[in-house]
Amino acid sequence: MTYSANGHGADTGRGVSVRARSLGVVSTPARTLPDRRSAARLAARVAAGESSIGRARRVGRILRALAAAYPDAHCELDFTTPLELAVATVLSAQTTDVRVNEVTPALFARYRTALDYAQADRTELEELIRPTGFYRNKTSSLIGLGQAVVDRFDGELPARLEDLVTLPGIGRKTANVVLGNAFGVPGITVDTHFGRLVRRWGWTDEEDPVKVEHAVGALVPKRDWTIVSHQVIFHGRRVCHARKPACGVCTLAVDCPAFGAGPTDPEKAAPLVKGPERDHLLALAGLGPTVPASPDASA
């Protein structure tokens, strides 16, 4: 295997493209990228129906690469109790975790129990969560959530999926976030990033989140469901963007049938990488941190 720009940069034959070297940013031996032919072969094999053993091995390699890329992957919502995580996850709909984390300190200081939400003054609660958007609907969900937890679960957030999904504002995705991160029960969180990436990897063709969850659950050891969910979502937010994935610096590239969905030239891909692990990710790709981030990097 060689680290080439997949036809976009001259390959030195020693694993680093001439264009990457010309940037003066090569700091460590580069991870390999597939050449054009092997990338096409993998895509064709996956499209035709990969053998189960072949897919299991490829899944295993992707999981190991994700673990190396994101050793600190975690839930990016701030919380200290299961109820706080449930509330934060309700608020995270249609907005960023960063925005949610900006409003929750004041919110959690004011509303500590399910009863507090059940008895909340609607106008006051709306004002506190307004920056997260859709605040009227979210206020209804939080008040309803508090009332349901008080009425049916003695004020304690339940720790079972089948109970959590009966609560206002809590769907299966939210329930799995809460189970995995607040209760230590393995859960797969299928958000927009997760679904996009596992389809790109050919782990499933399903669009329905529940079917995606079951398909991935059959490929990934159950004990790893929660951490793998974080790692996949991290990769989707930092590298494998919806519009312009940074394929040319992606450490999963040799095992990804969608390699080429974004720029394969490291010089063009590197500016698309974002997030606090940017330097680490570029180092894994053999590039130094001097490549500036692009405002074009979109999640």
Catalytic positions, written as ranges: 173, 191
Residue holding tokens 């600190």?
Answer: 72
Q: Looking at 93-101, 118-126, 144-152, 255-263, which segment touches ligand SF4 (CB under 6 A)?
A: 255-263
CA 57 to chain centre: 22
Q: What are phi and psi of 203, to 5 degrees?
A: -75, -25
Interacting residue with ligand SF4 among 8, 36, 200, 280 (CB under 6 A): 200
How many CB atoms are closer than 10 A to CB 181? 21
Whose CA is closest to 197, among 230, 243, 241, 228? 241
Q: Is residue 45 a contact residue for ligand SF4 (CB under 6 A)?
A: no
Burial (CB count <10 Å: 0-12, 13-18, 19+), residue 29: exposed
Q: Residue 277 contacts by C-beta under 8 Å, 6 or more apart in sequence?
A: 69, 70, 72, 234, 238
What is the amino acid identity at position 43?
Answer: A
Q: Is residue 271 a contact residue for ligand SF4 (CB under 6 A)?
A: no
Q: Residue 73 contacts by C-beta under 8 Å, 6 or more apart in sequence?
A: 66, 227, 230, 231, 233, 234
Interacting residue with ligand SF4 among 88, 177, 256, 291 (CB under 6 A): 256
Q: Looking at 93-101, 137-145, 158-166, 254-262, which segment touches ligand SF4 (CB under 6 A)?
A: 254-262
Q: List, as one string, the DSSP characters of 8-52.
A: SS-B-SSSSBHHHHHTT-B-SPPPP---HHHHHHHHHHHHHH--H
Q: Looking at 15-23, 79-87, 91-99, 253-261, which segment touches ligand SF4 (CB under 6 A)?
A: 253-261
Q: Is residue 261 a contact residue for ligand SF4 (CB under 6 A)?
A: yes
Shortest Å distance, C-beta 18 to ligand SF4: 21
Q: Lay out the site mask for ligand SF4 across 201-240 (x = CB under 6 A, - = otherwise).
A: --------------------------------------xx
Instruction: Return the exposure string of 252-277: e unless at least 16 CB atoms fall within 10 Å of the residue's CB, then b.
Output: bbbbbbbbbbbbbbbbbbbbbbbbeb
Residues making up the annotated binding site are 240, 247, 250, 256
Q: Is residue 272 a contact residue for ligand SF4 (CB under 6 A)?
A: no
CA distance 237 to 239: 6
Residues making up the annotated binding site for [4Fe-4S] cluster are 240, 247, 250, 256
Site for ligand SF4 in 52-91 (CB under 6 A): none
Shortest Å distance, C-beta 39 to ligand SF4: 9
Q: Looking at 7-15, 95-103, 226-234, 249-257, which segment touches ligand SF4 (CB under 6 A)?
A: 249-257
Residue nearer to ligand SF4 on the CB measure, 200 or 214: 200
Q: Is residue 245 a contact residue for ligand SF4 (CB under 6 A)?
A: yes
Q: Is residue 5 a contact residue for ligand SF4 (CB under 6 A)?
A: no
Whose CA is closest to 256, among 100, 40, 4? 40
Q: Is residue 259 a contact residue for ligand SF4 (CB under 6 A)?
A: yes
Residue nearer to ligand SF4 on the CB measure, 158 or 286: 286
Shortest Å distance, C-beta 3 to ligand SF4: 13
Q: Would you put residue 119 in left (φ > 0), alpha (ψ -120 to 50) or beta?
A: alpha
- Residue numbers at the binding site for ligand SF4 (CB under 6 A): 200, 239-240, 245-247, 250, 252-253, 256, 258-259, 261-262
